[in-house]
Structures are given as C-alpha cells and as structure tokens.
Amino acid sequence: MKIVNKVRQMQVLSDKFKKEGKKIAFVPTMGYFHKGHLSLMERGRELADILVISIFVNPIQFGPGEDFMEYPRDLERDLSLAEGVGVDVVFIPEAEEMYPPDYQTYLEVTGLTQHLCGLSRPGHFRGVTTVVAKLFNIVKPDIALFGLKDYQQYIVIKRMVRDLNYDIEVVGCPIIREEDGLAMSSRNTYLTPEQRKSALCLYQGIKLAERLVREGQRDAKIIIKEVIDYIESKPYTQIDYVKICHPETLDDLEYLNDKALLALAVRVGKARLIDNTILEVR
C-alpha cells in the first residue's frame, strides 16, 4: 500500500494507472475508520483495478464553533485497516497544499444545499463540493463511492458530477449500523455511555416512522410529530431537524405516495448525529 502526500505525486501516479488501462475507484474520507468506511472500500475493491482512498479532515466544511479541532484522528490505525481491505493508495494531502493562503476558488451546488443540513450548517456543502472536486482532479477516478448515511452529501455530489460533466460514476453504499441499529459514525466517539443509549433514538425514530407508514399513515406532519415526540422523550437530545422530503429534490412532502426520504439530525450531548431512510409506500 502506497502513501502519497503530495498533489502532483498523486496525479502522476493516477496518470500511470490510466495509461496501463486500469480503472480507479476512489473513497474520500476524513479518517477514524469504522465499518461504514471499510464497506465503501470493499465495494470499491470489487468495482475497479486500483483502489485509492483519501484521508483529509477538510477544514472548509466545518463552520465556526464546529468540531474541526476535536474531530477524532488515528492515522496509524486507519492505515492498518485500509491495508486489511486491500487499498492500493492512501492519499493524505497537507492542508497547506490543498488551501494555500491565497486560495480563492469555491464550488457550490445551489438548490439541493438549501435543505436539511445545508440550512443548519451554512457553507458546509460548499466546503464538501470544493474538496471533492479538488480530489477528483487529483485522483482522477473512474468510480467514486459515498455512503448513504450522508444522503444529502451523496445527492449533492451526484448533482455536481452531472452538472459539471465529470466522467465519474458515483456509487451510493448502504448505511452500516452497530448491532443495536445506531448508524456508525466517527462522531459516535463523542458520546458518553448514557448519551450512547439516547443516541439510539434516531434509529428507533426511523423504525417508528416505518411502522406508522406500514399501518397506513400517509400524513407527513403526523409521522414527523410522532418521531419528534419520541426523540424528545430521551435525555440529552436536541433536535436539529426531522424532515420528510422528496428523495431527489429534497423538497418537503406533505403526503407520502411512493418513496419519501425521512432525514433526521439530532444533537446528543456534543455529538451532532444524522440518520435517514427511504420510506416506501406499498
């Protein structure tokens, strides 16, 4: 497994793979790996000849007062896990090279970012699309893999790829959960044992909504109210949003017919946790 720190070195390496006719799969990450990250890498391993991952805690996607400084990091452990799933190249850029002091260019998907996390984290998606566009130009992948855990991020990236004609296939991978249902996240490490119990309310809220839909409920307001009441009954929780929206446009839905995205963001202690599911009306 090769470790690359310099932008130019990564570009030269990718050019070499391409000249050899090799297909490159790419998994961008912020590190502190769990099984969610590893599932993306395993899928990438299956889909291409060369598997490149990046580890970069991207400063420009964190807002003031967010957890950039505390974000968990453990490079040694990450490298050994990456090696275990057969990663070929780990790109670990330096912040100073990614964003030199005279850096001036940002990329923004407009409509889709005016919903959900885009409203509570202004500038977040601008930071994400900017870094992902830069990484695409550096790694030059044929395939890029993203987790559906960050559903809005996934569709924002798909839109960026479509709108800017990137010749890259964007693959969404299922949410990997702990045994009890909590979606895996590097931010789960912020939870105390008591908060960890409360954190299950996101998954339980999803299960509650799914049951209501199964029982025939179609009114989004009623489903949302039930989920909110459930989450609010748990200690340490503070809801950022609970929304039912169109899975492609992210516009709020009043009534469910066909498929709807249920998306939640809840603060539990100092961790801001997100989860989602597609509610299907049969």
Active centre residues (catalytic): 37
In the complex, the smallest distance separating the C-beta of residue 16 from ligand AMP, rounded to whole angstroms, is: 26
* 98 in contact with ligand AMP (CB under 6 A): no
- Which residues inside 107-146 make contact with ligand AMP, applying CB under 6 A? 146
Which CB contacts under 8 angstroms, 24+ apart, belong to 108-115?
109/156, 109/159, 109/160, 109/163, 111/249, 112/152, 112/155, 112/156, 112/159, 112/249, 112/250, 113/152, 113/156, 115/152, 115/243, 115/245, 115/250, 115/251
Query: Which residues fall within 8 angstroms of residue 274, CB to CB, at 6 or more apart?
Result: 117, 149, 150, 183, 185, 202, 263, 264, 265, 266
Tell me the H-state helices in 20-74: 35-47
* 36 in contact with ligand AMP (CB under 6 A): yes
How open is the CA angle 172-77-184, to the nearest 5 degrees? 40
- Which residues inside 184-203 make contact with ligand AMP, applying CB under 6 A? 184-186
Give residue number: closest CB to ligand AMP: 147
Instruction: Tell me which of 87, 175, 202, 220 binds ligand AMP, using CB under 6 A.
Output: 175
The smaller minimum CB distance to ligand AMP, of residues 175 and 209, is found at 175
In the complex, the smallest distance separating the C-beta of residue 254 from ligand AMP, rounded to whole angstroms, is: 28
* 243 in contact with ligand AMP (CB under 6 A): no
Instruction: Tell me which of 30, 170, 224, 266 binds ligand AMP, using CB under 6 A.
Output: 30
The smaller minimum CB distance to ligand AMP, of residues 94 and 232, is found at 94
Instruction: Tell me which of 13, 60, 85, 183 binds ligand AMP, using CB under 6 A.
Output: 183
CB neighbourhood size of 206 (10 A): 21
In the complex, the smallest distance separating the C-beta of residue 218 from ligand AMP, rounded to whole angstroms, is: 29
* 147 in contact with ligand AMP (CB under 6 A): yes
Q: Are 69 and 95 in contact (CB under 8 A)?
A: no
Instruction: Tell me which of 176, 212, 256, 268 binds ligand AMP, using CB under 6 A.
Output: 176
In the complex, the smallest distance separating the C-beta of residue 217 from ligand AMP, rounded to whole angstroms, is: 27
The smaller minimum CB distance to ligand AMP, of residues 181 and 197, is found at 181
Beta bridge partners of 272: 267
* 78 in contact with ligand AMP (CB under 6 A): no
CB neighbourhood size of 139 (10 A): 27
Q: Using CA atoms, how far apart are residues 169 and 14, in angstroms rounded to an integer?
A: 17
Nearest in space to 80 (alpha carbons), one of 185, 3, 174? 3
The residues of the shown chain that bind ligand AMP, judged by CB under 6 A, are 29-30, 36-37, 39-40, 146-147, 149-150, 173, 175-176, 183-186
